[in-house]
């Protein structure tokens, strides 16, 4: 399966990327093809609601000629999209939010005079996050928001992997997290 992974942690060697790297490595070992984009290295202009995208029902279109133009074709070719972000203020980080806003308008032709199609209908989506609070209180609003986003966009939700970061003075990584990340990747592989 072809997979696009969007990562959105400002810390390249941070907790979220540690988890994500194990998931990607395992998926690749299972024969899946993963292409990863670090959104902190990309230029993603926030959506300005000009609705240029709604005039073209055939493909993604936008007034901003930035790095979304490189990423969206990969998403359209992928069976699975993995969104990886630390939780910031109960949601994703800012580059991930900018990306989601660009895609929800650019690929869902729902916002013109007539309702058009979702160009990415059927794409599977999985979430990877790390958070400071207990997972159920750190991850809940991000997951709920994404469940609605996924349903609205006619995508298919495959679930999430989230790990708690108990503090910068403590070692984040351990064998249990490694096992859970490998297991999550295997489950994603089976659901494909
Ligand atoms: C600006 C900021 C906001 C945060 N907000 C939350 C939050 O709302 N809920 C939570 O559980 N953790 C929150 N955290 C903690 C991070 O999610 C946690 O430390 C995470 O593991 C960091 O991932 P990273 O190492 O990939 O950067 C926040 C951290 C920062 C820096």
Give the residue whose CA is nearest to atom 28 of ligand 1: 88
- For the CA of 15, the closest atom of ligand 1 is 25
Res 191: pLDDT: 84
Res 165: pLDDT: 97
Average model confidence (pLDDT) for the chain? 97
Res 68: pLDDT: 98
- For the CA of 138, the closest atom of ligand 1 is 11
- pLDDT of 127-163, one tens digit each? 999 999 999 999 999 999 999 999 999 999 999 999 9
| CA 95 – ligand 1 centroid, Å | 14
Q: Helix 175-191 vs helix 15-29: angle between axes, to the nearest 10 degrees?
A: 50
- pLDDT of 55-109, one tens digit each? 999 999 999 999 999 999 999 999 999 999 999 999 999 999 999 999 999 999 9
133 CB less than 6 Å from ligand 1?
yes
The pair of structure tokens assigned to 44 is 């993603």
- Predicted model pTM: 0.98
């Amino acid at each position: 399966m072809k997979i696009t992974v969007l990562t959105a942690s400002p810390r390249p060697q941070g907790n979220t990327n540690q988890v994500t790297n194990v998931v990607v490595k395992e998926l690749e070992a299972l024969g899946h093809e993963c292409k990863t984009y670090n959104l902190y290295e990309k230029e993603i202009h926030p959506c300005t609601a000009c609705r240029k995208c709604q005039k073209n029902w055939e493909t993604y279109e936008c007034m901003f000629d930035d790095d979304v133009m490189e990423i969206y074709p990969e998403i359209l070719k992928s069976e699975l999209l993995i969104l990886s972000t630390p939780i910031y203020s109960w949601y994703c980080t800012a580059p991930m939010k900018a990306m989601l806003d660009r895609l929800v308008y650019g690929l869902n032709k729902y916002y013109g005079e007539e309702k058009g199609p979702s160009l990415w209908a059927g794409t599977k989506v999985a979430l990877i996050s790390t958070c400071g609070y207990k997972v159920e209180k750190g991850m809940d609003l991000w997951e709920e928001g994404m469940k609605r986003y996924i349903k609205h966009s006619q995508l298919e939700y495959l679930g999430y992997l989230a790990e708690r970061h108990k503090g910068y003075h403590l070692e984040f990584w351990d064998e249990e997290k490694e096992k859970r990340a490998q297991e999550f990747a295997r489950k994603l592989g089976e659901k494909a």
